[in-house]
Amino acid sequence: MSKKFNLRDFQTRLSQQLQAAAGRDTSGSRLGFRVGDANWLVSLTDTEEVLPVPPIVRVPGARRWFRGLANIRGNLYAVSDFSDFMGQGATPEHNECRLLIPHRDFGVNAALLVRGTLGLRNIGRYRPLDAVAPSPWVSRQYTDESGANWHDLDFSRLLATPEFLRVEAQA
């Protein structure tokens, strides 16, 4: 029973942080999350919500990284394992995993399975890197105060990538 309470407490805190951030200038605010062993960021304006992983129904004949469909409040969402999609191996299932839902303005019922969230980050404190982006959906790269690297996710580029949209398994 305490796990449900802790999860609910986490969701409440994250929701409060996102709502508080929505009321102020968020140009430097990003939501941090983990994919494999990498740190990622996503703009708050590009994110509809972050939630625990609900039951997912597998789809026969789909690529391995396409986990299947999830019913989220009566709407079906296509769930993709972001780590596996990028060739970094499947995300192990555990209580810290989350679904990252792009904003409804993108017009896509997609969800990214990520290893966990890292809270709100202020990129104004990070140093931009001049390195070549490892993927077209990485808008910028940063180094934080401790020297850790971060990739800034561009949802619009990811959702427009043909490889991401082709979920059928290759023969």
Q: Is the pTM of this model over 0.85?
A: no
The answer to whether 100 and 93 are in contact (CB under 8 A) is: no
Q: Which domains does the chain have, with CATH numbers?
A: 2-165 (2.40.50.180)
Tens digit of each residue's pLDDT (9 = 90 or more) over 82-116: 999 999 999 998 999 999 999 999 999 999 999 99
Q: What is the DSSP string of 88-155?
A: S-PPPP-TT-EEEEEPGGG---EEEEESEEEEEEEGGGSEEP-SPPSSTTEEEEEE-TTS-EEEEE-H
The pair of three-digit structure tokens given for residue 140, joined into one six-digit string: 């910028």
Among 21-25, 51-55, 149-153, 156-160, the least confident range? 21-25
Tens digit of each residue's pLDDT (9 = 90 or more) over 23-68: 544 567 899 999 988 999 999 999 999 999 999 999 999 999 999 9
Scanning the structure block, which residue is given the tokens 């959906």?
137
CA torsion angle for 8, 57, 32, 144 (degrees, to 10)?
140
